[in-house]
A and B are shown apart, each in its own frame.
Chain A
Amino acid sequence: MKLSPEQAAMLDGRRGWPQQIALEMLVAVGKAHDAPDLIPIRSAHVVIDGLALGAPGLAFLERLVAEGGRFVVPTSLNALAIDRRRAPADDGERQQRRMLEACEKMGALASCSCNPFIQGIVPAFGEAVAWSESATAPYVNAVVGARTNREGATAIAAALTGLTPRYGMHLDHERRGGVLYEVTAPVTSLDRFNLLGTLIGRRAGDRIPVIAGLDRRPSLENLVGFGAAMAVVSALPMYHMVGVTPEAPTVAAVFPGGAPAAEIIDDAALAAEYRRTASATSRRVDVVSLGCPHASLAQMEEVAGLLGDRRVVDRVRFYVHTNATTLAAADAAGVLARLEAAGIRVTADNCAVLSYDKLPRAAQLATNSAKMALFATALSGVGIHYGDVAACVEAGLAGYWEGPWSSPG
């Protein structure tokens, strides 16, 4: 890989250990993918999930700070495993808070969300960035038209140096379509966009999916949900929606060598994906989780509207997960007070699975998010009731699941 004199100085330690370890990561990853060089980035988004980083991750971040490491591009942070409004309850929560403080000392913005797009943290079309959190790459690449690979620890390396290796999503030809889907099923609600995401993520393998035929223009929330669901079951960093996402005005634009025959996704395929997701064994509902990825103000207003003046039944934990930015907006708009008066627990920064406070095993959880369904199943063995936001709200009010699984049209 070709390095500038300054980059070579970083790599051999003349600019200190933080830049050296960062360059070592970037050069090794670049070499693994035949990158010719490193390119400048405009921003980074860093995951500091305390459960995944553990004590050695904290020691790594605090050593970066002690040895003078600083984030040299605007750097936002992903969701935490704690809600900062509460005092840390144990060693794990105290570790998570210290990870946050270390990143703030290096100059990170304590945005603490898996959905930075509803916080106004959005790259510009065409620019190179280095964003971690699997749900962010599909939105950055597909919806915004900025460029990022799916980053992990490499996002920290990129934030420390302002650099990323030139491979994958930074190359025009890697962003082309690989497989074409014609959607004939009605896909209008968020829960259905999620099912479409997991279905396409599994079917596409490593081919970038191109989606045509949607009968309605998706909302920001629909696109965030679709991309998060696709990314959780695949390594895909990108998709195209014809006539919706900016690099896919037409099918031909994303298949310059000619489009393949379209595979049809009909209502039966979506219903099969639903059956794969909904694993609950009785109608009982113990937990409701909305806001995966973090809920927007519009989604919080939707829940408040569906509730009216009714209250969540006492034995159900009803969560709406969001970030501190959106929580403040909801507070100012009076929406937070309405949700809390109904018995809903609105969380900031974290969620039901990204938390030191674990879900009870064998609980039955209602959600409209395929990502929440998969993680809650893997981490806590819960049973899943899956449906649209109205079905989830009714489940929280009644304490049992009535369905229907999704409202068509």
Chain B
Amino acid sequence: MRVFTGIGLVGGIAEGSALVTSDGIAFNLGVDERTGIVIEPGHPLAGQSVAGRVVVCRSGKGSSAGSFSLLQLADNRLAPAAIVNIQADAVITAGAVLARIPLVHRLDIDPTAAIRSGERVRVDGDAGTVTVG
């Protein structure tokens, strides 16, 4: 078991299977809010669903309406269980507040390199810790 420490931005504790990319994710227009599937053409996660996963990615990107896309995903029970960023942006951060998704960033390592897709991950948004395995 590995424990990484960063900065918790949105509180709460959640657990799930990691979905990892070093790219950013555009939740508006880049993820289908009716299916949870990444639809941005050419994205490394294209075709995979974010639903119930611990999404580990660089940051947010694209349209600033992405905060509400996270809220729509949550309403459809398709939101990520938690989000871990290298550096969180305002779109993902505000969206995580609205949709009550635990969010941690700036770990002591690069999470997109240290965590592999499919690994079991527990995120504590209050303590700012990420536990893998």
User: How far does the alpha carbon of A375 sit from the alpha carbon of B7 in the complex, in Å?
Assistant: 35
Q: Smallest Cβ distance from A123 to chain B, in angstroms?
A: 18
Assess the A52–B97 pair: CB atoms within 8 A.
no
Q: A47-B64, A54-B33, A152-B66 given as contacts; is B71 within 8 A of A28 (CB)?
A: no
Q: Smallest Cβ distance from A182 to chain B, in angstroms?
A: 29
Assess the A28–B97 pair: CB atoms within 8 A.
yes
Assess the A151–B90 pair: CB atoms within 8 A.
yes
Assess the A28–B10 pair: CB atoms within 8 A.
yes
Assess whether B89 is interfacial by the CB under 8 Å rule: yes
Assess the A56–B90 pair: CB atoms within 8 A.
no
User: How far does the alpha carbon of A379 sit from the alpha carbon of B28 in the complex, in Å?
Assistant: 12
Assess the A152–B74 pair: CB atoms within 8 A.
no
User: How far does the alpha carbon of A379 sit from the alpha carbon of B29 in the complex, in Å?
Assistant: 9
Assess the B33–A28 pair: CB atoms within 8 A.
no
Contacts of B17 in A (CB 8 A): none
Of the residues A31, A32, A57, A379, contact of B71 by C-beta under 8 Å: A57
Assess the A32–B9 pair: CB atoms within 8 A.
yes
Assess whether B63 is interfacial by the CB under 8 Å rule: yes
User: How far does the alpha carbon of A32 sit from the alpha carbon of B6 in the complex, in Å?
Assistant: 11
Assess the A154–B90 pair: CB atoms within 8 A.
yes
Contacts of B105 in A (CB 8 A): 32
Assess whether B20 is interfacial by the CB under 8 Å rule: no
| Cβ-closest chain A residue relative to B29 | A378
Assess the B65–A47 pair: CB atoms within 8 A.
yes
Contact residues of B between 70 and 91, Cβ < 8 Å to A: 71-72, 74-75, 87-91
Assess the B61–A25 pair: CB atoms within 8 A.
no
Assess whether B94 is interfacial by the CB under 8 Å rule: yes
Of the residues A33, A133, A154, A378, contact of B94 by C-beta under 8 Å: A154
Assess whether A55 is interfacial by the CB under 8 Å rule: yes
User: How far does the alpha carbon of A53 sit from the alpha carbon of B69 in the complex, in Å?
Assistant: 7
Q: Smallest Cβ distance from B97 to chain A, in angstroms?
A: 5
User: How far does the alpha carbon of A57 sit from the alpha carbon of B72 in the complex, in Å?
Assistant: 7
Contacts of A141 in B (CB 8 A): none
Contacts of B49 in A (CB 8 A): none
User: How far does the alpha carbon of A177 sit from the alpha carbon of B52 in the complex, in Å?
Assistant: 42
Assess the A52–B69 pair: CB atoms within 8 A.
yes
Contact residues of B between 36 and 77, Cβ < 8 Å to A: 61, 63-69, 71-72, 74-75
Contact with B along A147-159 (1 / 0, CB 8 A): 0011111100100
Of the residues B7, B66, B71, B94, contact of A56 by C-beta under 8 Å: B71
Q: Smallest Cβ distance from B69 to chain A, in angstroms?
A: 7
Q: A28-B10, A32-B88, A153-B95 given as contacts; is B63 within 8 A of A60 (CB)?
A: no
Assess whether A24 is interfacial by the CB under 8 Å rule: yes
Q: Smallest Cβ distance from A171 to chain B, in angstroms?
A: 15
Contact residues of A between 44 and 66, Cβ < 8 Å to B: 47, 49, 52-57, 60
Q: Smallest Cβ distance from A22 to chain B, in angstroms?
A: 10
Q: Smallest Cβ distance from A192 to chain B, in angstroms?
A: 25
Assess the B7–A150 pair: CB atoms within 8 A.
no
Assess whether A214 is interfacial by the CB under 8 Å rule: no
Contacts of A378 in B (CB 8 A): 29
Assess whether A235 is interfacial by the CB under 8 Å rule: yes
Assess the B90–A150 pair: CB atoms within 8 A.
yes
Q: Smallest Cβ distance from B112 to chain A, in angstroms?
A: 17
Q: A28-B94, A134-B63 given as contacts; is B68 within 8 A of A52 (CB)?
A: yes
Assess the B94–A152 pair: CB atoms within 8 A.
yes
Assess the B9–A157 pair: CB atoms within 8 A.
no
Contacts of B90 in A (CB 8 A): 29, 32-33, 149-152, 154
Assess whether B109 is interfacial by the CB under 8 Å rule: no
Of the residues A31, A32, A150, contact of B64 by C-beta under 8 Å: A150
Contacts of A133 in B (CB 8 A): 64
Assess the B97–A53 pair: CB atoms within 8 A.
no
Assess the B65–A29 pair: CB atoms within 8 A.
no
Contacts of B115 in A (CB 8 A): none
Contact with B along A136-153 (1 / 0, CB 8 A): 000000000000011111
| Cβ-closest chain B residue relative to A137 | B64
| Cβ-closest chain A residue relative to B33 | A54
Q: A28-B96, A154-B94 given as contacts; is B28 within 8 A of A56 (CB)?
A: no
Q: Smallest Cβ distance from A29 to chain B, in angstroms?
A: 5
Contacts of B98 in A (CB 8 A): 21, 25, 60, 153
Assess whether B129 is interfacial by the CB under 8 Å rule: no
Extra contacts, 12 of them, besides A25-B98, A152-B95 (Cβ < 8 A), are A25-B94, A28-B10, A28-B96, A52-B28, A53-B72, A54-B72, A134-B64, A150-B64, A152-B90, A153-B95, A235-B89, A378-B29
The 10 closest A-B pairs by CB, nearest first: A152-B64, A52-B65, A153-B67, A56-B75, A153-B94, A32-B88, A25-B94, A54-B72, A57-B68, A29-B90
Query: Which residues of A are at the interface with B, using a C-beta cutoff of 8 A?
Result: 21, 24-25, 28-29, 31-33, 47, 49, 52-57, 60, 132-134, 149-154, 157, 235, 378-379
What would 5 A/B residue contacts be, using CB atoms closer than 8 Å? A31-B9, A56-B75, A60-B71, A152-B91, A153-B98
